[in-house]
Amino acid sequence: MRDRFLAPTVGSLLLWGGMVGIALGAAALGTSSTETLVTQMLINAIVVIGLQVFIGNTGILSFGHPAFGAYAGYVVALLTMPMSRKLLQIPDAPLGLAEVETSTVAATVLAVGLTLIVGVIVGLALVRSGATSGAVAATMITLAFLFVTHEIALNWTDLTDGGGGLGFIPRLEGRLPIIVTLLASILAARWFAESKTGRLAHATREDDVAAASVGINRIRPQMVALLLSVGIIAIGAVLRVRALGSMTPSFFYFDYTLVTLAMLIVGGRLSVTGSMLGVVAITAGTEITRVISGDDVTVPGLEWLLRPNLSDLFLGGAMLGFMLLRPKGLLEDRELDHWLRRWLPRREEQVAPPPEVANPATGDSTLRTVDLGVVFNGFRALADVSIEVEQGEIVGLIGPNGAGKTTLINAVSGLVADHEGTVVLGGEDVTDLAPDELARAGIGRTFQNLRLFRGLSVAENVAVAHMASAAQGRQVPDIDALLAAAGLWELRDRKASALDYGNQRRLELARAAAAGPDFLLLDEPTSGMGETESAEMVDFVRATAASIGAGVLVIDHDLHFIVSICDRVYVLDHGELIAAGPPHVVRQDAAVKSAYLGED
């Protein structure tokens, strides 16, 4: 635990030192306009960290985050403006606001509080829209939020005095509050990314279906990430408004979204260090383009380019270039502390202990389907299928392509929610549970087309599954032992996407087992494997199931695999159960032979 946060803490301090060093260095070298630029850069850094906390950890692109800044900005403006100014500009402000004047501290607290409430409301909309990584609906909601906020600010003139905005806001004295907030934001962002909640958010970011299959409910991690990011942006916005001494609807509108998003994307949205690099790079770039497009510089033949909008061109170009050539930004997901970790004291490497039984079978533990049926748009994929798997037993599910095998597993694990019949687990009707609830109830699964958390390390893939289940009080196996048994101990720090196919298959099974399920549903674990690899997989499936005391329902094409591993076999054809029994008996069944025409 302590280890996990030591490097990020030291790294955050260094990153902060670097940012402050660059800023103060530039301020010392430059003119008074550099002073303003430096102040703005440090404030933008805070806002970009706010963006990173949400976009980077959840994978949901938001255009609307700067709009949260508008709420905080108006609160602080309205509460700290001198009463005399307000009585002139907005005498009819609601709630008697024209006659209220608070300290900046109180105003900041209220600004952050109100913005968090707005955050909760927007968050609920995101959750309802089924926000998953890359979801279009969620991104559109954030965009709509940006527009709506802008319209409210423009049109609620009694409160905001419209487009001209509010002025005479007491100015920020010195940069200290900004510098301190920057440190707090960097630390919060890095700690969150390393926290349990942050890591669960990463799992849903990588693959929300797989995350649900190991019991992760995406809503809580996404909400926490949202509120943390909103809080950081609110404080950044308060500082921005106080540094400028005024507030208008356009301060936190599209232009600001573009600038801050460009910073995030160029540096690397998955990395706090990267996003800080992006802030410096974009600030420097826009400043340079601004200077060379000014009146003082003339380059014969280039007048057409050196126009005042060159810095916008630069922003657009930078975003376009990075999206095309390096979509994950300069640093991708690397952090300063990843390098640091090599030098900081580290827990002694443990030699992985042998697997042990962690979850022995208890009580009535049968997984049963009763008359399961699935219809896809009028096409019947499954009809009246009743099967049973006992804990500790390995049961095969075979049938020709398109027989409905995957559909059966999808129905049992909750992915196909709209089905007939019931699913009973340990005597309880679990038919109506969501995939993540079913996972927490004890049903684990793998996917026919691998679904790993590709951007996470091997160890992390297993750890998040383990964490999600352990938090629910499930008995979970030792993950080091699981990794060792899967032959992945040496590869534990690799990215899942960097593994070869066989290792990826074993990792997926290890991940499912890490949640300590009572039943494992395996969809073609040996598909695409050679003979030796398949044989190893047989051993691995057996050993894993035994070590966690789980019952297994395994789909496979390969009859050899099924015969060598299963106690019993069910045969599906055209969505119907056509045979059941011990493998050698089923193999001789006439109906099975005809379904498998030409099969060995």
Note the residues at the interface with Mg ion (CB under 5 A). 405-406, 448
Cα–Cα distance for residue pair 589/600, rounded to 1 Å: 13
Q: Between 306 and 375, whose beta carbon lies closer to ligand ADP?
A: 375
Shortest Cβ distance from residue 382 to ligand ADP (Å)? Answer: 8
Q: Report whether 211 contacts 197 (CB < 8 A).
A: no
402 binds, among ligand ADP, Mg ion, none (CB under 5 to 8 A by kind): ligand ADP
Angle between helices 136-155 and 65-80 (to 10 degrees): 30
What values do phi and psi take at 571, rounded to 5?
Answer: -120, 125
Shortest Cβ distance from residue 121 to ligand ADP (Å)? Answer: 34
Cβ within 8 Å of residue 470, ≥6 positions away:
476
304 binds, among Mg ion, ligand ADP, none (CB under 5 to 8 A by kind): none
218 binds, among ligand ADP, Mg ion, none (CB under 5 to 8 A by kind): none
525: helix, coil or strand? coil
> How many CA atoms are closer than 13 Å to the CA of 441, on its beta-carbon side?
22
404 binds, among ligand ADP, Mg ion, none (CB under 5 to 8 A by kind): ligand ADP
3-class secondary structure for 192-228? HHHCHHHHHHHHHHHCHHHHHHCCCCCHHHHHHHHHH
Shortest Cβ distance from residue 86 to ligand ADP (Å)? Answer: 59
Nearest to 369, CA basis, from 323, 416, 425, 304: 425
The encoded tokens of residue 53 equal: 């906390």
Contacts 24+ apart (CB under 8 A), 426-435: 426/363, 426/364, 426/365, 426/366, 426/367, 426/518, 427/364, 427/366, 434/212, 435/209, 435/212, 435/213
Q: What is the DSSP string of 16-61?
A: HHHHHHHHHHHHHHS-HHHHHHHHHHHHHHHHHHHHIIIIIHH---
Q: Between 472 and 527, whose beta carbon lies closer to ligand ADP?
A: 527
407 binds, among ligand ADP, Mg ion, none (CB under 5 to 8 A by kind): ligand ADP
Q: Between 130 and 327, whose beta carbon lies closer to ligand ADP?
A: 130
Q: Between 335 and 508, whose beta carbon lies closer to Mg ion?
A: 508
Shortest Cβ distance from residue 134 to ligand ADP (Å)? Answer: 19
Shortest Cβ distance from residue 508 to ligand ADP (Å)? Answer: 17
Q: Between 404 and 414, whose beta carbon lies closer to ligand ADP?
A: 404
267 binds, among ligand ADP, Mg ion, none (CB under 5 to 8 A by kind): none
381 binds, among ligand ADP, Mg ion, none (CB under 5 to 8 A by kind): ligand ADP
Cα–Cα distance for residue pair 592/600, rounded to 1 Å: 12
Q: Between 402 and 582, whose beta carbon lies closer to ligand ADP?
A: 402
Residues that bind ligand ADP (CB under 6 A): 376, 379, 381, 399, 401-407
Shortest Cβ distance from residue 442 to ligand ADP (Å)? Answer: 23
Cα–Cα distance for residue pair 99/83, rounded to 1 Å: 6
Shortest Cβ distance from residue 569 to Mg ion (Å)? Answer: 16
Cα–Cα distance for residue pair 407/381, rounded to 1 Å: 7
**How far is CA 432 from each of CA 232, 411, 429, 468, rounded to the nearest angstrom?**
39, 10, 8, 21
Shortest Cβ distance from residue 525 to ligand ADP (Å)? Answer: 13
Q: Between 119 and 404, whose beta carbon lies closer to Mg ion?
A: 404
Q: Between 448 and 472, whose beta carbon lies closer to Mg ion?
A: 448
Cα–Cα distance for residue pair 345/450, rounded to 1 Å: 36
Buried/exposed code over 583-593 (b: 16+ C-beta within 10 A; e: otherwise): beebbebeebe
Q: Between 280 and 403, whose beta carbon lies closer to Mg ion?
A: 403
Cα–Cα distance for residue pair 555/557, rounded to 1 Å: 7
Shortest Cβ distance from residue 445 to Mg ion (Å)? Answer: 12
Q: Between 32 and 401, whose beta carbon lies closer to ligand ADP?
A: 401
Q: Report whether 234 contacts 72 (CB < 8 A).
A: yes
Nearest to 392, CA basis, from 586, 547, 514, 535: 547
Shortest Cβ distance from residue 451 to ligand ADP (Å)? Answer: 15
